[in-house]
Amino acid sequence: ASYSFLLDRTARKVKQYAQQQFKRGGFDVTVDQWLVLKNLAENPELSQTELANLVFKDHPTLTRILDLLTKKGYIIRVQHPQDRRSFQLHLTPDGVTKVAELRPKVLQFREKAWENLTINRHLRVGHFVTLLCLSNNFLYETYEMLHI
């Protein structure tokens, strides 16, 4: 039980730290919005359901995030060619630019968050979290938070 608490607290602290960095850096997106943009950049033409599964958000929450990203001009919804009831999500040119602009900054403060760990400890933590994620799908969100 204490490991579950530690993992949850760690994921929350990492997300808080990341959100502070996003705010301080004037990123114009939240951590959750970044995860959506990053996943769309890495997986073009996802449906909303596929994206919801990747970022572990329920549909109403993801819809709000997508609406905000659409308003900001970072994504567009395109009707799915085979299923008129669903949409594919695409980054706009501004969205592609935003991901390219933020990726090195996110990597930089992610490295800062881990700087007090030796390489060996960093690898051990990564290995441990990866094993947990592989054996327990519900822990994948923690893994995503640790790898923003």
Q: Could you tell me which residue, 91 or 146, shows the higher pLDDT?
A: 91
> What pLDDT is attached to residue 146?
52
pLDDT tens-digit series, residues 35-51:
999 999 999 878 888 89
- For the ranges 46-60, 84-98, 119-133, the lowest mean pLDDT is seen at 119-133
Which residue in 37, 54, 45 sits closest to 77, CA to CA? 45
Mean pLDDT of the chain: 83
Other beta carbons within 10 angstroms of residue 98's beta carbon come to: 24
Q: At what angle do helices 93-114 and 31-42 cross, to 10 degrees?
A: 120
Q: With bands split at pLDDT 50, 70 and 90, how would you rate the model's confidence at 3?
A: confident
Distances (CA, A) of 134 to 35, 50, 109: 20, 19, 26
Q: With bands split at pLDDT 50, 70 and 90, how would you rate the model's confidence at 137?
A: low
pLDDT tens-digit series, residues 61-109:
999 999 999 999 999 988 877 877 778 889 999 999 999 999 999 888 7
In the predicted structure, residue 15 carries a pLDDT above the cut 80: yes
d(CA 115, CA 55): 26
In the predicted structure, residue 1 carries a pLDDT above the cut 90: no
